[in-house]
């Protein structure tokens, strides 16, 4: 008499290999996401620091006089006394208003552009400045902050 076992338990070698391949592919995908996240986890910190630097420069510039109060040519940043003096400013490493390097921010670069803006009804009279502060972080990403200064 022959016995037939209908309830076989276990898996075949092929089923085991297929399961291992599927799990390996899923694990590889998850590890790639974790790796990407880890590599870019400092980006928000760099971005926030670049924004803070740009805001500090913008505040310093917009608080200056609209027109030059004297006829002297300002040769260094600590002598700048009007908005237009900042045109073309380029700093390697963030600096304070007295042109002193700020510790820990040497890998940032700052470039300032000040252009005249015509706000009047005829468009002929210069009545303001457009100020662009571009900060490049150590990863090479650039952030531009634009502000306006009117003659009020």
3-state secondary structure the chain: CCCCCCCCCCCCHHHHHHHHHHHHHHHHHHHHHHHHHHHCCCHHHHHHHHHHHHHHHHHHHHCCECCCCCCCCCCCHHHCCEHHHHCCCEEECCECCCCCECCCCCCCEEEEEEEEECCCCCCCCCCEEEEEEEEECCCCCEEEEEEEEECC
**pLDDT for position 112:** 96
Residues 21 and 75 grouped into a single domain: no
Number of domains comprising the chain: 2
Taking the C-alpha atoms of residue 128 and residue 115, their distance in angstroms, rounded to an integer, is 9
Domain membership flag for residue 6: no
Residues 131 and 85 grouped into a single domain: yes
Q: What is the pLDDT of residues 29-68, one digit of tens each?
A: 999 998 888 776 667 888 999 999 999 999 999 999 888 8
Whole-structure pTM over 0.75, yes or no?
Answer: no
pLDDT confidence band for 81 (50 / 70 / 90): confident
Domain membership flag for residue 73: yes
Q: What is the pLDDT of residues 108-139, one digit of tens each?
A: 999 999 998 887 666 566 678 999 999 999 98
**pLDDT for position 120:** 66
Residues 88 and 26 grouped into a single domain: no
Question: At which residue do the structure tokens 């040497």 appear?
Answer: 106
The answer to whether the CB of 97 falls within 8 A of the CB of 78 is yes
Residues 146 and 98 grouped into a single domain: yes
Give the mean model confidence (pLDDT) for residues 56-82. 85
The answer to whether the CB of 62 falls within 8 A of the CB of 78 is no
pLDDT confidence band for 142 (50 / 70 / 90): very high
The answer to whether the CB of 19 falls within 8 A of the CB of 111 is no
Q: Is the pLDDT of residue 17 over 60?
A: yes
Domain region containing 31 = 11-41
């Amino acid at each position: 008499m022959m016995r037939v076992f209908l309830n076989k338990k276990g898996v075949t070698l092929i089923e085991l290999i297929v399961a291992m391949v599927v799990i390996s592919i899923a694990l590889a995908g998850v590890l790639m996401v974790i790796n990407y996240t880890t590599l870019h986890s400092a980006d928000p910190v760099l971005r926030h620091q670049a924004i803070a630097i740009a805001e500090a420069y913008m505040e310093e510039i917009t608080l200056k006089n609209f027109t030059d109060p004297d006829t002297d040519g300002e040769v260094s940043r600590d002598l700048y006394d009007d908005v237009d003096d900042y045109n073309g400013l380029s700093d390697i490493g963030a600096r304070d208003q007295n042109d002193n390097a700020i510790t820990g921010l040497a890998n940032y670069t700052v470039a300032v552009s000040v252009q005249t803006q015509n706000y009047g009804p005829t468009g002929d009279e210069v009545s303001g400045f457009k100020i662009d502060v571009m900060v490049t972080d150590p990863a090479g990403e650039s952030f531009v902050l634009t502000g306006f200064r009117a003659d009020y």
